[in-house]
Structure formats: C-alpha cells, structure tokens
Amino acid sequence: MSRRTSRPRRPSAASARTTSAAEITAASPCPCGMPAEYGACCGRLHAGAAAPTCEALMRSRYSAFVVHDAAYLLRTWHPDSRPEVLDLDDPGMRWERLEILGATEGSAFHTTGTVTFRAHFTHNGRAGSLHEKSRFVRYEGAWVYESALFTD
Ligand SMILES: [Zn+2]
C-alpha cells in the first residue's frame, strides 16, 4: 500500500502524536487481523524476519502503518518506486482493519505476486477505506512492494 500523507505540515503536528503506535505491544493482537500476537506475527517481520509470501509482506506493511514503522515500509519498497521519505505522523489517522480480498502467486515458488485488499481507517473521526491491488516482486531474494496496479 502506498498511501502517504501529503497535507501541509502544521507546526503543532510534531507534538500532537497519535497514541496508536504506543498501544501495540508484542502481546497485542496483531493489527493485520491474523489470530496471533503482534510479536509472533508481523512484529517478527518488522524485527528482520523474511516474509515468506506476498500476503505476509502485505500484512506486515499494513501493520507497519499501524505501529508507525516507516523504516520497515521503506526497506520493503522496491528502490525504483520507493519514496525518499514517508511521513506517518498524522495524528488524525487511525488504521482500523485490514481485509485481504485476494492474492495471486507470491509464494516461495514465485518471483512476482499480487495482493488485493481493503484497508479500513478513520481519519479525523470519519470512516474510510483504501482499496488496492498491490504488485510485489522479489528483490535480492526478498519480497518487496513495487506498485499499486489499481487503487481507489
Ligand atoms: Zn500480523
């Protein structure tokens, strides 16, 4: 998922951090929706474990938005399409839930894959969702996010 904030910076934004990142601990239910604790699910990937499938990478990238791990998002982004910086510090943004709608290829036997998902969020109290089909490729052996094939 490639959503990033593009609104003008307000001087107060830096001090008005959201608390959502701090609410997640290793024992929390994983934000990605798998029936597992964060530390045993996406937290492992954030700590350096390789994603076995595109879907696992997609889930871990969604969770990285939730826990504000911009460094993980950048290092799992193909260098050709990766933004230089990623600002996740939008106090009004709260990622609520990830729905995986479909996936093609993307296993240990593939070099490309796609994942279609809907990510539900609340922004300044208003519910919304991001619907996207993401394309993933292997880069130096590891799955990385390449681009959105469609997004709405
Ligand atoms: Zn997870």
User: What is the C-alpha to C-alpha distance for residues 6 and 59, in angstroms, rounded to an integer?
Assistant: 23
pLDDT at 152: 81
Mean pLDDT of 78-107: 95
d(CA 32, ligand 1 centre) in Å? 4
d(CA 109, ligand 1 centre) in Å? 22
**What proportion of the chain, given as a percentage, has pLDDT over 90?**
81
pLDDT at 72: 98
User: What is the C-alpha to C-alpha distance for residues 112 and 110, in angstroms, rounded to an integer?
Assistant: 6
Least confident span in 18-27, 54-63, 129-138: 18-27
Mean predicted lDDT score pLDDT of the chain? 89
User: What is the C-alpha to C-alpha distance for residues 57 and 113, in angstroms, rounded to an integer?
Assistant: 11
Cβ atoms of 115 and 58 closer than 8 Å: yes
The domain defined by 26-151 folds into Nuclear Transport Factor 2; Chain: A, (3.10.450)
d(CA 8, ligand 1 centre) in Å? 31
pLDDT at 16: 40
d(CA 33, ligand 1 centre) in Å? 6
pLDDT surpassing 80 at residue 6: no
Burial of 35 (0-12, 13-18, 19+ CB in 10 A): exposed
